[in-house]
Chains A and B, each alone.
Chain A
Amino acid sequence: MRLEVRHLRRYYGTTRALDDVSFAIEAGQIVGFVGPNGAGKTTTMRILATLDEPTSGDALLDGISLLEHPERARAVIGYVPDSLPVHRDITIHEYLDFFARAYGIGRLRRESLIQSLEEFTNLTGIREKMLGELSKGMKQRVSLARALIHDPQILLMDEPAAGLDPRARIELRELVRVLAARGKGILISSHILTELAEICDAALIIEQGRLLRSGSLDEITAAEKAVGRAILIRVVERAPQLVEALLLMPGVQAARLVGDDVEVDVEGDERASAALLTEIVRRGFPVHEFRPRLSNLEAVFMNVTKGDVQ
């Protein structure tokens, strides 16, 4: 199954929530959706979940318009919103049973289906617990089980790790990996970028409704590297003097002390870096370590976004 988003635009009055957003998700792919608060992540997800309608543009599921055939989309899309279930006086099992009924799953299939989902999300032992008594992590697992009840091929997860403790986050991450391995395409938004980087195949960076970067994680980070490179230098002594010396060298854009290291932004390619190292050694600085600072999703995110909201 392929979910293709084409030129989505969404205006609320004169406020532009989405501006020409296009991307696609394939089966088995985990795509991280990254952006500051108010960037348009939830709006995109709500449109894909058929809960909202774009001002223009479309989303296609294997070529079928989601806007024109929302009922077909609902059959193959699962949605985990950024809030947790709030029903009172109902057990986990009854809650899942309710949604199974709501999806029109018949009695004969319902029981075994719920049981297998409870096993998958590790809820079997607590299935008779009231929803209101659950921790955030447990509620998130219930929410995931609920989203999977109709066996969707595409899963939209809006900030699923928000507020979870480290253990619950790790468990959730594992579940997401297993689901992707089963061939489900997953669009997942999160503020915990290091975690996203660990599980995602690709990422979308959005701000003020505009898609700033999209592609595989390697592509995104490589694109950042191409603009310039950051190098970390560790010297045995005279680090502050090295910073002063670096600032006077040609091709050096910036230099600063970061803990014991000296971080320097250099213009140019690997030859420029090699020339810089030669010059530092020539000037007698005792270099202990000289390595490029690895660019990661977090760094890219900080570089390309300004933190603006609309």
Chain B
Amino acid sequence: MNLLERALTRLDDALNPIVVKELRQAVQGKFITGILILFLFFQIGTLGFSLIDRAAASNFELGRETFTVLMMFVLLAGTLAVPIYSGYRFATERSDLDSDLLFITTITPAAIIRGKFQAAMAIVLLFYAVSLPYMTITYFFRGIDLLSIFWVVVFSLSGVVLNLSICLFIACLPLNFPLRVMIGLCALIPLFWVFGGSVAMVSEFLRMGIGARVLSWAFWRDLFPSVLLFGFGLGLLYVLSVAAIAPAPTNRAYGIRRFVSAFWALSLLGMTFYAANGGGSQALGGWIIFATLVFSAFLPVAVSERTWCGRRVARTIPGDALGRRLAFLFYSGAAGGLIWALTFMVLTHVVPVFALPVIGATNFGSSFEHDREGVIILALYTLGYSLLGALVRRLFLADRVPVASTWFLALLLAGLGGAVPPILGFILFGSDREEWLLGNPLLALQSTAWRESCLLFAAGFAGVLLLVNLPWMKSQWEQFRPYGDEEPPPDGEDAPALPV
């Protein structure tokens, strides 16, 4: 075997099997070929139309206009056609059987998601590669420079990556097919929104002459919060997708909590730097509000997690006291998840205070306190209803509602909590006083006058439920122990062999 063959063998062995399979399927399927031919037809048509247009000779913006149309076709393929195709394929393929078969190989759930993503990106890049010669020609039509073409193409990939991640995530959801189709149809809204946003971004970048501005510090500084948000969304979709397809006995929440915690720390540093360099203290205030909302969203997710860990996870629990405590927060588990979210919520409001002197400010902006109060009330309501959901499920619906659906029960209870008391109040006491609405989490956001009452009510509501659920959480902590190597096999006896 010569050097080249050896290198090719190594490369072949290093390839993600999912990528190889997906690309083979794409080549043999009719969809991608069909879309590609259609795509080429439109690209040539657009160029041809621009060339034969009589007004072209006097139009000094022709290059930019043609490029925008060509870019729209690329974005149609890249942000809509290919992601929807990849997501649909994954969803139909992701029967229990297929994912099961993969999990008894050496492929990890993360490698599956990465493979799907890489294969879809390879197809998108094929569309880009096909389109680039036509896009470059627009330079000769006037009104656009090559640097702008390059940067617009690069930035447009962000929409592709985002939509692809959304589609793969929806395909991963452990739902039955009709429900997945329904959610898929709902997801068309953000997909089209991203497509529209990408088209608008292309127009705006071309209008402002991105080629000249892209290398300036101010450009990247202004873009920083969006880049951060984009990175968070992308990373979160990735870890959520991995968790969604991981087998039930695995430590599903670990990757998610690790990512969110790491991103929390890095983004805090980043936002502090951004605030100190022109972003202002209100940027840090915005970060606090956003982080609180994110951790609030994890509360109903946490109560929908299992309350015990199997031996596969137990054998990875550290034996030392600190390690065990940290593992409890980060490993899959309802109580650990709740404490993790609450801990980071508290840290979110405490740590940035120490950053204020660094950025030379005394507060987080004029409207910050008002916004902070709103999200804290919302977080308390979310905590209260999540714990109520867990309690009701445990006491009355353990046989009927699976643990994984506790979030839905909590949502239902929040709806009932908002609607039933005012109805009862009216029927039983003929009263339509606003106090009956205190169970409604949206009241605090609607009416500033009721904020204080809502805060008190939500704090009391969450506090009582926290106390009631404390034994449940404590028992989870007590059960969360490393699996001892010295423990004898169950019942200590051998099973009889069946005679041959």
Interface on A for B, CB 8 Å cutoff?
Answer: 2, 4-7, 13-14, 22-26, 28-29, 31, 46, 49-53, 56-58, 60, 65, 67-68, 70-71, 74, 77, 79, 81, 83-91, 94, 97-99, 101-104, 106-108, 130, 146, 150, 201-202, 204, 214-216, 219
Contact = CB atoms under 8 A, between A and B. Distances in A.
A102 B17 contact: yes
Nearest to A150: B105
B9 A106 contact: yes
A202 to B, nearest CB: 4
Contacts of A49: 100, 104
B427 interface: no
Nearest to A81: B97
Given A7-B491, A68-B311, A86-B97, A79 B498 contact: no
B499 interface: yes
19 contacts: A7-B491, A52-B248, A56-B490, A58-B489, A68-B312, A79-B100, A83-B96, A86-B95, A87-B25, A87-B93, A89-B25, A90-B25, A90-B28, A101-B17, A101-B20, A106-B13, A107-B12, A214-B496, A216-B500
Residue from B25, B95, B495 having most chain A Cβ neighbours under 10 A: B495
B307 to A, nearest CB: 12
B53 interface: no
Interface in B11-27: 12-13, 15, 17, 20-21, 24-26
A13 B481 CA distance: 22
B63 to A, nearest CB: 39
B398 A24 contact: no
B24 A94 contact: yes
Contacts of B106: 71, 74, 102-104
Interface in B236-284: 247-249
Contacts of A204: 498
B483 interface: yes
Contacts of B29: 88-89
Given A86-B95, A88-B25, A102 B490 contact: no
A14 B495 contact: no
Contacts of A87: 21, 25, 93, 98
Contacts of B500: 26, 28-29, 201-202, 216
A65 B499 CA distance: 23
Contacts of A90: 21, 24-25, 28
B101 A202 contact: no
B104 A77 contact: yes
A309 to B, nearest CB: 16
Contact of B402 (A2, A13, A23, A91): A13
Contact of A215 (B12, B20, B92, B499): B499
Per DSSP, are chain A's interface residues mostly helix, strand or loop, or mixed?
A: mixed
B499 A99 contact: no
Nearest to B29: A89
A90 B119 CA distance: 15
B150 interface: no
B315 interface: yes
Given A6-B490, A89-B28, A50 B496 contact: no
A159 to B, nearest CB: 12
Contacts of A216: 498-500
B317 to A, nearest CB: 12
Given A25-B498, A77-B104, A98 B489 contact: no
Given A6-B491, A6-B495, A83 B12 contact: no
A24 B498 contact: yes
A65 B314 CA distance: 14
Nearest to B106: A104
For A56, A83, A216, which residue has the most chain B Cβ atoms within 10 angstroms? A83
Contacts of B20: 97-98, 101
B147 to A, nearest CB: 40
A79 B499 contact: no
A27 to B, nearest CB: 9
A98 B17 contact: yes
Contact of A5 (B17, B249, B495): B495
